[in-house]
């Protein structure tokens, strides 16, 4: 029954969409679903998304690596002292709530319209969830584990690798996942605002040339990419979690 209602809802939306395109709404603004489907198939067949997809993925990987390294390094450094946690945790959390996209014009000024500004944007946004979760994860390890390990004579290095890190791992992993996804969105945003390549730029181009059916097809394509990314990361996270537990 629930399924039925859900499917009904989606079908209704599609129907409304189709009806709207038959009626008053200009096909320039809202192309019929069939046309979008056609364009989507063309897109997949010609595979002409490759150059832009490559650019976006390159930017994402670069941004994520920067954020993952700096974020986890700074996070584990901060978490070593509870005073530092009290100083930096609210600082990072406060900075995280400022819309970082405001920095994008500055990054364009510094790094130009190419991938550089997008990497900087993606890294900035991905940094915060990584650093915040690293701090949270490491500073909230159950004291009983630490006491037990110390009583068994663990050295500081052993303590970090055998106790702190495994105990904090799920939280850090979640931070990395959120970082990757929000970094992807930030890069898309950067490409949308000012760029000459990448998936976001592609959609803008099609919008500006009023090629809406193809634009929709590309939006669907980006959703697909986001979905694959999400699924891959969730899978990796589940694996990582199980490896620990």
Partner 1 sequence: MSPTAARLAIIVAMLAAWEAGVRWFGNPLFVSPPSRVAVALLDLAGNRDVLAAVARTCLEISIAFALSTILGVGLGLLVGLHRFTRGAMYPVILLLYAVPQVTMLPLFVLVFGIGMVSKIAFGVSHGVFPILMTVAAGVQNIEPILVTSARAMGASRRQILLAVVFPHALSSFFTGMRLGMTAVLLGVLLAELYVSQAGVGYFTTMFTQTFQPQNLFALVAVLAAIAIMLNALCRWAELRFRANV
* Site of interaction with partner 1 (CB under 8 A): 1-2, 5-6, 9-10, 29-30, 83, 86-87, 90-91, 94, 97-99, 101-106, 108-110, 184-185, 188-189, 192-194, 199-200, 203-204, 206-208, 210, 212, 215-216, 218-219, 222-223, 226-227, 230
For partner 1, the closer of residues 109 and 152 by Cβ is 109
Q: How far is the CB of 219 from partner 1 (least distance, A)?
A: 5
Euclidean distance between the first and final Cα of the chain, in Å? Answer: 37
For partner 1, the closer of residues 146 and 193 by Cβ is 193
For partner 1, the closer of residues 9 and 69 by Cβ is 9
Q: How far is the CB of 239 from partner 1 (least distance, A)?
A: 21
For partner 1, the closer of residues 143 and 208 by Cβ is 208
DSSP the chain: -HHHHHHHHHHHHHHHHHHHHHTTS-TTTS--HHHHHHHHHHHHHH-TTHHHHHHHHHHHHHHHHHHHHHHHHHHHHHTTSHHHHHHHHHHHHHHHTS-GGGGHHHHHHHH-SSHHHHHHHHHHHHHHHHHHHHHHHHHTS-HHHHHHHHHTT--HHHIIIIIIHHHHHHHHHHHHHHHHHHHHHHHHHHHHHS-SSSHHHHHHHHHHTT-HHHHHHHHHHHHHHHHHHHHHHHHHHHHHHHHH-
Q: How far is the CB of 155 from partner 1 (least distance, A)?
A: 30
Compute CA 140 distance to the chain's CA centroid, rounded to the nearest angstrom: 25
Q: How far is the CB of 59 from partner 1 (least distance, A)?
A: 14
Q: How far is the CB of 209 from partner 1 (least distance, A)?
A: 11
For partner 1, the closer of residues 163 and 216 by Cβ is 216
For partner 1, the closer of residues 29 and 44 by Cβ is 29
Q: How far is the CB of 97 from partner 1 (least distance, A)?
A: 5
């Amino acid at each position: 029954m629930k399924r039925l209602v859900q499917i009904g809802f989606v079908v209704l939306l599609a129907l409304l969409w189709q009806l709207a395109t038959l009626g008053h709404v200009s096909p320039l603004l809202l192309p019929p679903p069939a046309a979008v489907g056609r364009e989507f198939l063309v897109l997949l067949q010609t595979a002409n998304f490759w150059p832009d997809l490559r650019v976006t993925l390159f930017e994402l990987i670069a941004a994520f690596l920067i954020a993952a390294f700096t974020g986890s390094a700074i996070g584990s450094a901060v978490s070593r002292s509870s005073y530092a946690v009290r100083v930096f945790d609210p600082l990072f959390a406060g900075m995280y709530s400022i819309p970082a996209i405001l920095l994008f014009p500055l990054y364009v000024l510094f790094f130009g319209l190419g991938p550089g500004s997008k990497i900087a944007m993606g890294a900035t946004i991905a940094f915060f969830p990584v650093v915040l979760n690293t701090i949270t994860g490491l500073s909230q390890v159950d004291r009983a584990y630490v006491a037990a390990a110390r009583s068994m004579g663990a050295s500081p290095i052993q303590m970090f690798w055998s106790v702190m890190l495994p105990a904090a791992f799920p939280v850090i992993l979640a931070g990395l996942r959120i970082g990757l996804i929000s970094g992807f969105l930030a890069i898309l945003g950067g490409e949308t605002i000012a760029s000459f390549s990448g998936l976001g730029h592609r959609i803008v181009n099609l919008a500006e040339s009023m090629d809406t059916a193809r634009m929709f097809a590309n939006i669907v394509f980006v959703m697909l990419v986001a979905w694959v990314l999400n699924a891959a990361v969730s899978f990796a996270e589940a694996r990582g979690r199980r490896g620990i537990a």
